[in-house]
Structure 1
Amino acid sequence: MSVPAITPWVVGNWKMNPMQASAKQLVQELKQLLQNQNIEESDCHMGVAPIALALTDIRAQLHDSSRTVYTVAQDVSRFAGTGAYTGEISAELLQDSGIGFVLVGHSERREYFADTPAILNEKIKNALNANLKVIYCVGESLEQRENGQAELTVLQQICDIAAVVQAEQWNNIIVAYEPIWAIGTGKTASPEDAQAMHAKIREGLSQITPAGKTMAILYGGSVKPENAVELAACPDINGALVGGASLNAESFYKIAQAFANTK
C-alpha cells in the first residue's frame, strides 16, 4: 500500500553505550558531518537515544547543531509524576528536562525487563499525557516467524495499545518494526520482507486510526549504510531505528543521508 509523502525519521538507539567521553566525541563528530554537508530537516528527521545519565548533557551538546537532532529517552516509568519510586524516571520528569521523545516497547525491554503489554500501556499513556512523542517498537521472534505467526504477533502488539491512545494522540506516535531475530545479529530482513510487514502494519493502523495513513513506520534490525538505500526505497519504510551503527557518527550520518535522498 503506497502512502502520502512522509518525512522519514532516523533515530540512533545507543542502548547501554558508550562511556561519557566517547558519547561527547560521537555527538561532536555527527555535528561536524552535518556542518560540512547538512541533511535538511524537511528531508529527514534525526534523533539519538543515549543512556538516561546522558540525556540532558547530549541535549545541551546538540543545541548548537546546524540542524535539529532530537534527544530521545530509551524508556519511561510506568508511574506518573513524582513519588517514592526509586530508580524510575517519569514522563513528566523527562518533559520537564526538555526531552520530548521516548522509546517504548523495545524487544530488550520486553524480554529482559518483563515489560508486559499492561506495563507498556501504562508507559504509553503516561508519555502521551505528558505530551511526549512515543516511538513504539513491535516485532516478532525467529520462532514466531518460522511458525507463520509474524504478522499476527506484530498486529497484536499494535492492537495492545489502542485502548490507551486517545484519537488525537495517534499523531504523536511513531512505530518501529524490529524483527527480534535481526537485532544485533547482523541479519536483516530482506527489503521485500520488511516492506511486506510495514505494509501490513500500516493496514492495521489505518483500521484503528486515520493517522495510520501518514504515520512514520521505521525499520530496526541491523540497519547499516550498506542496506539503508534499499530499505529507504520501500514505500512503507519511513526511516530507521539504528542500533550498533549509530555508535559510529559517519555510519549514522550515511543512513540518514540514504533516507533523505530516497524519499
Structure 2
Amino acid sequence: MSGSTITPWVVGNWKMNPMQSDSQQLIQSLKQYLQAGPIDVAQCRIAVAPTAIALLSVQQQLQDAAVEVLTVAQDLSRVAGTGAYTGEVSAELLKDSAIHYVLIGHSERRELFGDDVSQITAKVTHALNAGLQIIYCVGESLEQREQGLAEQVVLQQICDLSSVVKAEQWQNIKIAYEPIWAIGTGKTASPEDAQAMHEKIRAGLKQLTGYGQDIAILYGGSVKADNAEALAACPDINGALVGGASLQAESFYKIAQAFAQTKH
C-alpha cells in the first residue's frame, strides 16, 4: 500500500548558506519561477529552511509570493520556553515568530554536533508541545548499509519517536529519509533502493500509529532536477528534502515541479 494520496512536500535545506545578499536573490528568483509557473499547493507544498539569522527576513520576503512557500527552522533548542540559555532558540520563540515547521534529527546534527537520542526526543517533545510541525530526519551511514544494518538503524530512529509522541501528535510529523552516504556526495540511492526503504518506514509507521498511512516520507541525499522525476514516481516517496540543489532557484523549482506533476 503506497502513500500516493499524500500531498508531496519539497523542502530546501539551505544549511549554513548563503550570505544575506545571495539569500535575497535566491528568494527573488524562486518567486519569479513560481509567478511564471505556479505550483498548486494541493499538488506540492514548497518550503525552505534558511539559517536562523535569515528565518524572519526570508519569511517576510516570501509573503507576496504567487504560491505559498513555508519557512522552516533547521533546528531548535532542547530547552523549552525562555531563559538564560545563550545562543539557543526554543520552540516557543519559533512559534511566537510564526515559524511553524522545524527540522529535527538531521544527520549533520547527529554526526557533527552530538545530538543523541535524549536530545533529539527533548527537541521533538518541545516542538510538539509548542504546536510546531516536525520534519524528522533518519538515515544510515555507508558502513551501516554495507553491514546490512540500514533498515534496523532507520527503524530504530523511527521507534525513538514513539516514547515521546502522543497518539494525536503523529499527524504533526513528517519523515525525511536521508542515507548519510548520499548527502552532499553526488551519490544518490537508486529509486529502487530509496523506495524499498520508504516502504519499510511506511510499514514501521503503520505499526506505531493509526496515522502511519498518511505521514509524508521525503527522500533526501543529492536530490537534483535530473533525478527528481524518477524519485517522485516511487509510490512511497512523498517529496524531497533538498540540500545543494535548493541553493539554485531553477533546480529547486524543477524538483518541486517534478513532484507536483508526477504525483498528480
- Structure 1 unaligned spans of 5+: none
Q: Which amino acid aligns with 1:208?
A: L
Q: TM-score, normalised by structure 2?
A: 0.99
State the SS of the aligned residue for 2:174.
strand
Contact 1:184 1:243 (C-alpha < 8 Å) held by counterparts: yes
Structure 2 Cα separation of the partners of residues 59 and 28 of structure 1:
12
Residue 33 of structure 1 corresponds to which residue in structure 2? 33
Residue 97 of structure 2 corresponds to which residue in structure 1? 97
Residue 250 of structure 1 corresponds to which residue in structure 2? 250
Q: Which amino acid aligns with 2:194?
A: A
| Residue pairs, 1:33-182, within 5 angstroms | 33-182=33-182
Contact 2:4 2:238 (C-alpha < 8 Å) held by counterparts: no
CA distances 1:105-126 after superposition (whole Å, capped 9, x unpaired): 0000001110001100000000
Moved over 6 A (4+): none
State the SS of the aligned residue for 1:11.
strand
RMSD: 0.5
- Structure 2 unaligned spans of 5+: none
Structure 2 Cα separation of the partners of residues 139 and 114 of structure 1:
15
Q: Which amino acid aligns with 1:94?
A: L
Give the number of aligned pairs.
Answer: 263
CA distances 1:165-222 after superposition (whole Å, capped 9, x unpaired): 0111000000000000000000000000000000000000000001110100000000
Structure 1 Cα separation of the partners of residues 124 and 10 of structure 2:
21
Structure 2 Cα separation of the partners of residues 3 and 107 of structure 1:
24
TM-fit CA distance, 1:3:
2.9
State the SS of the aligned residue for 1:210.
coil
Q: TM-score, normalised by structure 1?
A: 0.99
The percent identity for this pair of structures is 69
CA distances 1:63-115 after superposition (whole Å, capped 9, x unpaired): 01111100000000000000111000000000000100000000000011100
Structure 2 Cα separation of the partners of residues 62 and 240 of structure 1:
20
Contact 2:9 2:239 (C-alpha < 8 Å) held by counterparts: yes
Q: Which amino acid aligns with 1:12?
A: G
Residue 213 of structure 1 corresponds to which residue in structure 2? 213
Contact 2:3 2:238 (C-alpha < 8 Å) held by counterparts: no
Contact 2:4 2:236 (C-alpha < 8 Å) held by counterparts: no
Structure 2 Cα separation of the partners of residues 172 and 74 of structure 1:
16
| Residue pairs, 1:11-26, within 5 angstroms | 11-26=11-26
Contact 1:177 1:217 (C-alpha < 8 Å) held by counterparts: yes
TM-fit CA distance, 1:4:
4.9
Structure 2 Cα separation of the partners of residues 60 and 138 of structure 1:
30
Q: Which amino acid aligns with 1:200?
A: K
CA distances 1:4-48 after superposition (whole Å, capped 9, x unpaired): 500000000000000000000000000000000101000000000
Structure 1 Cα separation of the partners of residues 4 and 47 of structure 2:
23
Q: Which amino acid aligns with 1:224?
A: K
Contact 1:47 1:71 (C-alpha < 8 Å) held by counterparts: yes
Q: Are residue 6 (structure 1) and residue 29 (structure 2) matched?
A: no
State the SS of the aligned residue for 1:71.
strand
Structure 1 Cα separation of the partners of residues 128 and 231 of structure 2:
29
TM-fit CA distance, 1:2:
1.9
